[in-house]
Structure 1
Amino acid sequence: MAAAPTLSNPATTTQVIAQSIIKSKPSSSSSFPKPYSLESPWLGIKLSVQSSNPKTRFPNHRQITATVSFSLPTAKPDRVTSTEKVPKWSRRAIKSFAMAELEARKLRHATTGNDALLMGILIEGTSLASKFLRANGITLFKVREETAKVVGKGDRFFYSPEHPPLTEAAQTALDWAVDQKLKSGDDGEITTTHLLLGIWSEVESPGHKILETLGFNDEKAKELISLSSEPGSVDG
């Protein structure tokens, strides 16, 4: 039986092993994905994200840009003559609006009503208005239950649009909030307190009826206004 061939030169053996290791290493340019950025004008920062898991690959990843507006839909675009005088909505109010749209889609509603705006405030959860509602026993679960009674349940086979259009009552609530802020003459932003009071101002609307059923009234509204105007109060 013939003996297996051997390499007589130790140096040659080392070179062959080294070359084999180099060839087996993956290219550094293909092992890890390039970082992608999350840029948010709302927060004013740019975040770079890189995967630390070598098994995770994004060969065709795209740059992601998040844009957030400082205003909400209005039926009165010409209420002021100068854009510099238009008050901006607070971060919490804008988030509440976004959560309202998502809730309307979740419930498979064709529109975003002021009942959804109410739920959006509660889902956001950190504003003075949201905390005030919960302190008075008005929770997201209860509002959802009342919404099903007042508005009705959505069709399980219906798919809401990405941005369900506002009902007249919901649009009126937004415009009421802006008008009240303009009338006050105060600096600062339009907050979720303004939004909640705007919902309450529409007496025949679903949002008002739901709040009334759950114990909200004019006295509660005045109490909320008083809390929001106290020195050092953090409203948003």
Structure 2
Amino acid sequence: MKKSFVYKNSLSIVFLTLFVAALFGQIVFGWKVHNSELSDVGQRPLELLHYLRSGHFISATFENFQSEFLQMMLYVFLTIFLRQIGSAESKKLNEKEPVDREPRPSPDAPSPVRSGGWRLKLYKHSLSIAFAFLFVFSWAMHLFGSFRYYNDELIMDNEPSINLISFISKPDFWFESLQNWQSEFLSVASIVILSIFLRQKGSPKSKPVDAPHMETGK
């Protein structure tokens, strides 16, 4: 039986839909919160499009993005080398897995595999490279947004603005970053450890329900 496009892509469709809905909610409520802050200090409220260019919105948005991409970058990279006995999220302890084999050209293989050379070398690490780029970009945007918002607050308080070097040496930006990073590290540790002992029938993130606790991988 031929499956529909929605069925074949339902996981990404659902998560992208949830992302758009949550982002829309963040925009609406963030806009209201920021305008309330402006009103409290006698400033005019921002129009929505102006708010989307504000440091308040950029900082809040990319503060979350960068921690997620950091999590995925480290998860993809560290699971190459590190193991956790009994975890569904770990490779097996003492044997090679399909992901470890050298790529072999075939008619159905991705074009970089068929091409070989530098394209293949780059493609073999393309997932971690992509997450690293997304993390660095999001980190830079978070820095830009936080710097802009910090100076906006100084100006509202009739204080002089500061430069980027002075801002990055302050604790504010690092507090924002690290409070998100630690939650991402905890969430990864949770799925790694809990999948040793707990099960979810039908989920590829779980071992089979009848698998022994110390069986590593799926």
Q: TM-score, normalised by structure 2?
A: 0.28
Q: Greater RCO between the two (CA within 8 Å, min separation 6)?
A: 2
Bigger Rg over Cα: 1
Higher helix share: 2
Higher strand share: 1
Q: TM-score, normalised by structure 1?
A: 0.26
